[in-house]
Structure 1
């Protein structure tokens, strides 16, 4: 009888993940697949010729810096929640929301800069891809800002703290993913425009 009890005590726990986190990871994988397919299509189409050559707007350097800063402020928010520093959590989330909105404004200005260079959505595929990449990323970033605002409101209602981190972890994961995705796209465009 003692052998059976010892065996049961040593049983390994199955790997488990919260269903919402699992759904988030599935969503992230699907977004990665979409952008991987689009960057592949970009390379294939560029190789066919008839490709518009243009300089990337300088503002993309600034928006890249903004997204990196927002990732740092999101990490500060995560650490603040984990350590029950609720005042810092609210400040860090607020900063991240503002930086996310600044990034979106910067993307709008980058489109204006493209128009000034006679690069349009319709016409040459070189310009079209630029609008699709930045526009699709902006759509995902808007969803990230909405998620941030929901988490910020939850922090004011004291629903985010060290014993209730699921939503905070999901928001941080998604935000860092969006930042990493932008850096990938920016470097890709720098190397392939």
Structure 2
């Protein structure tokens, strides 16, 4: 029996029955809440540090905006894959899942190109706090995207290697992956809007 299909704690199981929320989803939301607080703290620190002076002004790399489109499309394809899974259209499910994974890789590659663009603008790491904040925020976000890619990779692997059956355990795994991926998507949109408004 997989960890998904087991209960973590009798009290949490009782709570999830009352709230109709699976314990693992509850843990996921708690974890995502802590990530929200971390990024809010980072962006708040950005505002405070900018107000204290010695701040280099520069343009956000255009590629970061392209990246926003890439990650939004990846969320849409993953959501469509989930819909196909529920309809048991397994060919469509596998194809959309693979597209989502490849778009996730494209996001990380484009993010790396954005960092190169920053360096080409004369904003390398450890030169000015304004650039350092951009690197720190975008690197930290990219690290969480890589975590999501690991989960997506396992999901793609299982979809292509094992016979796909719609079971509650598999649906839950897919839902957890999708929730996390939508989160990193929304988080990036927040970050890119925040950084754009600070220019």
Using the size of structure 2 for normalisation, the TM-score is: 0.87
Alignment of 1:90-101 (within 5 A): 90-101=94-105
| Whole-Å separation in 2 of the counterparts to 1:91 and 1:152 | 9
Shift of 1:160: 5.7
Count of residues in Structure 1 that have an aligned counterpart in Structure 2: 181
Alignment of 1:77-96 (within 5 A): 77-96=81-100
Answer yes or no: is 1:14 the counterpart of 2:18.
yes
Q: Aligned in 2, Cα 1:46/1:88: closer, same or farther, shift over 3 Å?
A: same
Answer yes or no: is 1:154 the counterpart of 2:162.
no
Alignment of 1:17-166 (within 5 A): 17-156=21-160, 157-158=162-163, 161=166, 163=168, 164-166=170-172
RMSD over aligned Cα atoms? 1.3
| Whole-Å separation in 2 of the counterparts to 1:162 and 1:183 | 33
Answer yes or no: is 1:177 the counterpart of 2:186.
no
Deviations 1:85-144 (A, max 9, x none): 111111011000100000000000000000001112202110000000110000000000
SS in 1 for 2:44: helix
| Whole-Å separation in 2 of the counterparts to 1:189 and 1:150 | 33
Deviations 1:1-60 (A, max 9, x none): xxxxxxxxxxxx612432322221111111101000000000111111111100111111
Shift of 1:154: 2.2
Using the size of structure 1 for normalisation, the TM-score is: 0.89
Q: Aligned in 2, Cα 1:158/1:20: closer, same or farther, shift over 3 Å?
A: farther
Answer yes or no: is 1:190 the counterpart of 2:196.
yes
Which has more radius of gyration? 1
Q: Aligned in 2, Cα 1:56/1:36: closer, same or farther, shift over 3 Å?
A: same
Tell me, which stretches of 5 or more residues in structure 1 are unaligned?
1-12
Return structure 1 stretches of 4+ with deviation > 6 angstroms: none
